Amino acid sequence: MDEFKQILLDRLVKGGADPSSLSSILKALSKLLSSNPDIDPAAANERLHYLGWHEVEVDYHILQLALACFEMEDGHHRRSLIDGHDRRPQAVRLQDVEIAPIALNDI
């Protein structure tokens, strides 16, 4: 788990975060992701900028790392970020999924 958190911190710094502000940025990210675990990077950046973190730029991978770190904090699962719609497991799985094309007359 510490490896994932370190990777997250490194990526945030590479994304423009001030190392001395990382704990506050993580807190903002935690609140942001707990309210909307499926937020896209553009919306997350907009919200972070609105909160005053103008130097921070997050991408999809940073958001996924943050979700994983927040859920596994202190070695046990936090209350799930799923808001009752079972969306979260799809967001974490970074695997290729093949979807066959569907003809309109098959619908």
Q: Which domain holds residue 49?
A: 2-92
Give the confidence band of 16 by pLDDT, cuts at 50, 70, 90: confident
**End-to-end CA distance of the chain, in Å?**
44
What confidence score (pLDDT) does residue 25 get? 93
User: Model's pTM, two decimal places?
Assistant: 0.65
Tell whether 31 is covered by a domain.
Answer: yes
Q: Please count the residues of the chain.
A: 107
d(CA 61, CA 36): 16
Tell whether 104 is covered by a domain.
Answer: no
Tell whether 63 is covered by a domain.
Answer: yes
What backbone torsions phi and psi does residue 81 show, to the nearest 5 degrees?
-80, 0
Give the confidence band of 98 by pLDDT, cuts at 50, 70, 90: low
Number of domains, the chain: 1
Per-residue pLDDT reduced to its tens digit, 21-78: 999 999 999 999 989 999 999 999 999 999 999 999 999 999 999 998 888 874 444 4
Tell whether 76 is covered by a domain.
Answer: yes
Q: Which residue has the higher pLDDT, 13 or 85?
A: 13
Tell whether 29 is covered by a domain.
Answer: yes
Give the confidence band of 92 by pLDDT, cuts at 50, 70, 90: very low
Tell whether 99 is covered by a domain.
Answer: no
d(CA 62, CA 67): 9
Q: What is the CA radius of gyration of the chain?
A: 16
Tell whether 87 is covered by a domain.
Answer: yes
Tell whether 38 is covered by a domain.
Answer: yes
